Amino acid sequence: MLNAPVPDNEQERLESLRSLSILDTPMEERFDRITKIAQKLFNVPVSTLSLVDSNREWFKSCQGLDASEGPRAISFCGHAMLADDLFVIPDALTDPRFSDNPMVTGKPHIRFYAGQYLRGPGGHKIGTLCIKDYKPREFPGEQCALLKDLAVWVEMELNSKELSHALEERRKNEKRLSKMFNALHKTHEELKQAQMQILQSEKMASIGQLAAGVAHEINNPVGFISNNSEMLEQYIGEYTKLLRMFDALKKSVRDGHIEKAGSIIKEIDRFSEDIQLDYIMNDIHNLLSHNQRGIERIQKIVMDLKTFAREGEDRMELVKIEEIIGSILSIVYNELKYKAELIKNYGTTPLVKCNVQRMGQVFINLLVNATQAIEQKGIIEVKTYCQGASVCIDVRDTGKGIEEEHLKKIFEPFFTTKPVGKGTGLGLSVSYEIVKKHGGEIKVRSIIGQGTTFTVMLPAAT
């Protein structure tokens, strides 16, 4: 006897099956109706809807057998589930794979078997719709097609909950987006209330320069989430039409119009092929996955913005300086990417003890200044490394450079080389004071026509 094989993707297959939350649930009329039709249509004593678990086949619906499950190893369905097409055994006694199978040599004495695999979420094979007889028989092509069509009906019923889940996920996603936009609005209000303080007013100036870029970074994922939602609506419409066709099929079967039922099944088959039903079932997962990534991208931007914008407590934390830089880069990236190629050259650095919001303000000032120093297209490099007991951060640009006479005044309050109305002259002064309060230094070197490098040195945590 050949035991039912275990596929290479067994773990993913079991996850797909269990995601339906259907194992060990009571019998349901919607599935019993299909197995009864199969039993009557093919004139067989046994028809089952079998779901193949890790070590058993469990019957969600069973006609003609007084059982709810059986061992997977000796099951016919374990083989049928992995077949590329309809799995047919005309006479089990003459088939070396099954001739000594306990279900053939003993009760229920199966001689004939035909089963079509069923796909669950993600397209994984999770079970079969099958028929069994106690005597050998042939199974012509027309009957094969009918059993396949009934299996499509079962898949529709199995995955109808998944579609409902997709709709529920969409509603949840919309709520999450609404909450995130509300959080962004609240952050904006908090920033406006902080304008009366000098440090916060400088922070607001930086945010004002970056607002359009932040909006653009948020708008990108919002755009494809909207497009994906439109595609889901289209799929739902096609799915609804198919369900109505199945309702007509159920009515024809209940009324005893077998010929009409066969015609509707063929119409269902054609429509399923026209709309590429297998593609739709897989694409629903892709669309939801893309939407989730977009939501996570928006959430990260909002959280980074909130972290930076919040009026800082004087709380000091042990952090990796690269994490602070990464959060700030996600805020300023849209401002930066049109002017410069960003190079991140991170070394192996220890933790530093700092106020995350205040240090974030330092890096946003340095990165915005670097961007504004580049007139057309250039390079901005952020480099981290250790020097003695200090963690060093270089912010280098290939901009126009700073005049020697201005370098001596660069950290003085209200000093700026920008036109009136284009800057407060507080950015570098505030940055200098923040770094100084952290027990560090900030230095600058510049060459006209080649660019400028600001170096922040912070004491490594001990």
Question: Over the chain, what is the mean pLDDT?
Answer: 82
Q: Name the residue with higher pLDDT: 96 or 224.
A: 96
- Rounded CA-CA distance 186/192 in Å is 10
Q: Name the residue with higher pLDDT: 4 or 349.
A: 349
Residue 399, sorted as left (phi over 0), alpha (psi -120 to 50) or beta, turns out to be: beta
Which of the given ranges, 2-11, 121-130, 289-298, 423-432, has the highest pLDDT on average? 121-130
Please determine, for residue 391, whether its predicted confidence score (pLDDT) is greater than 90: yes
Q: What is the largest CA-CA distance in the chain?
A: 102
Q: pLDDT band at 190, cuts 50/70/90? A: low
Please determine, for residue 347, whether its predicted confidence score (pLDDT) is greater than 50: yes
- Rounded CA-CA distance 366/379 in Å is 14
Burial letters 280-299, b for 16+ CB under 10 A, else e: bbeebeebbeebeebbebbb
Instruction: Please report how many Cα atoms fall inside a 13 Å half-sphere around the Cα of residue 206, on the Cβ side.
Output: 29
Predicted pLDDT of residue 241: 85
Beta strands 56-63 and 46-52: pairing type?
antiparallel
Q: pLDDT band at 424, cuts 50/70/90? A: very low
Predicted pLDDT of residue 19: 85
- Rounded CA-CA distance 153/145 in Å is 13
Lowest mean pLDDT among 33-42, 76-85, 331-340: 331-340
Burial letters 364-385, b for 16+ CB under 10 A, else e: bbbbbbbbbbbeeebbbbbbbe
Percent of the chain with pLDDT over 70: 82
**CB-based burial label for 203 (10 Å; 0-12, 13-18, 19+):** buried
Please determine, for residue 425, whether its predicted confidence score (pLDDT) is greater than 80: no
